[in-house]
Structure 1
Amino acid sequence: MPDRNHVRLIKKYANRRLYDTQTSTHITLSDIRKLVIQEESFQVVDAKTGEDLTRSILLQIIQEAESDGEPIFSSEMLKGIIRFYGPFQGMLGSYLDKSIQAVVDIQAQTGQQSSQAWNDFMHSQIPTMQKLMGQYVEQSKQLYLNTQNLFGMFPGFPGTAGRGDKDKDDDKS
């Protein structure tokens, strides 16, 4: 069982090499992926500045995983995620975080269930999850549009119906 109080320090150098200070060896993204799977606490920092690069490295690992085999994120899903950056960013982040944690909790509760049985279960759930996510996105879209319509009632508010009058004035010039 990994020691959750100890955070393993990984340093990233300018030549893009990663150095594990615990084992005093250079490691790869694959090695970091193993640390994640083993639930070992770690932090990746820039060797020169000390800047925390953990999220960036984790995104690289996801990008590599998406390139190999069957991706989790479809192009449409990625476009949807990109559209959520801004007003609903916190809401989507929280939703995704809770959803993934729920799957992890279910997996932990099932204990030693075989990988194949888990994969079969998850593949059978994909249509349901896609439908639920589609409904959620549609509801969020309607909430966003309703909010925009509400602000449209106030002329002169940036990005609303009040701007249409200004655009008409610009056409007359």
Structure 2
Amino acid sequence: MNTAMAQQSESHQRIIKKYPNRRLYDTDTSTYITLSEVKQLVMSRVSFEVRDAKTGEDITRSILLQIILEEEAGGRPMFTAPVLESLIRFYGHAMQGFLGGYLEKNIQSLIEVQTRFAEQSKGFTPEMWSQYAAMQPPALQALMGGSLEQSKAMLAQMQEQVQKQTDQMLGAFGIKSAI
């Protein structure tokens, strides 16, 4: 594939229309598709946007949340009830905006660790896998070291931001922070 075609396919965003009858229509293939097929687009890293056919509103997040809901309902869920409860508690909280960025950066770090691990383990023999399994916690810690440091830094930044917001709020009432 030449460079111009590669750039065009990278910048091309597939449009999927959602009709009131709950059907999804892929405008690239001129066919109706299922949530499972939308999930395959995600897994294949295809850029797409889901639009309400009637209003034109971008409803991509809603469709992605439906896919997550289906995944959580079947098989092995990724999120425990306490994790979901914690996420719900962040809605409306002063730190709501910060949590999204925090989670996004940590997931990206995990993806980078996974990619590095896949590259490093390409030539593993069964014996090497056995040795790796025996030392898994230290090896995993070594792979994730940078990610853990990044998480610590973000938590420190979050604490600092909360402290500043508290100081500002208390200052508006003429109260100095005790901390």
TM interval, shorter chain, is: 0.5 to 0.7
Query: What corresponds to 1:89 in structure 2?
Result: 96
Matched position secondary structure for 2:94: coil
**Aligned mates of 2:17, 2:172 — CA distance in 1:** 52
- Offset at 1:96? 0.4
**Aligned mates of 1:76, 1:144 — CA distance in 2:** 23
Query: What corresponds to 1:171 in structure 2?
Result: none
Matched position secondary structure for 1:110: helix
The runs of 5 or more residues in structure 2 that have no matched partner are 123-128
How high is the TM-score relative to the length of structure 1?
A: 0.66
- Give 1 or 2: higher helix fraction: 2
**Aligned mates of 1:63, 1:90 — CA distance in 2:** 22
Matched position secondary structure for 2:11: coil
1:87-120 CA-partner distances (Å, limit 9, x unpaired): 1111111110001101111222334658xx8xx8
Query: What corresponds to 1:18 in structure 2?
Result: 24
How high is the TM-score relative to the length of structure 2?
A: 0.64
- For residue 108 of structure 2, the aligned residue among 101, 126, 132 is 101
Query: What corresponds to 1:67 in structure 2?
Result: 73
**Aligned mates of 2:100, 2:56 — CA distance in 1:** 26
- Offset at 1:84? 1.2
Query: What corresponds to 2:15 in structure 1?
Result: 9
Opposite residue 45 of structure 2, the aligned amino acid is E
Change (3 A) 1:149 1:11: same
Alpha-carbon RMSD across the aligned residues, in angstroms, is 3.6
**Aligned mates of 2:168, 2:47 — CA distance in 1:** 46
1:116-158 CA-partner distances (Å, limit 9, x unpaired): x8xx879x97xxx9xx89xx99xx79x9699779967987x9x
Matched position secondary structure for 1:4: helix
Opposite residue 108 of structure 2, the aligned amino acid is Q
Opposite residue 24 of structure 2, the aligned amino acid is L
1:12-50 CA-partner distances (Å, limit 9, x unpaired): 000000000000100000000000010000000001110
**Aligned mates of 1:76, 1:146 — CA distance in 2:** 29
Opposite residue 49 of structure 2, the aligned amino acid is Q
**Aligned mates of 2:54, 2:112 — CA distance in 1:** 38
The size of the alignment, in residue pairs, is 144
Query: What corresponds to 1:161 in structure 2?
Result: none
**Aligned mates of 1:37, 1:48 — CA distance in 2:** 28
- Spell out structure 1 runs of 4+ moving beyond 3 A: 110-114, 143-155
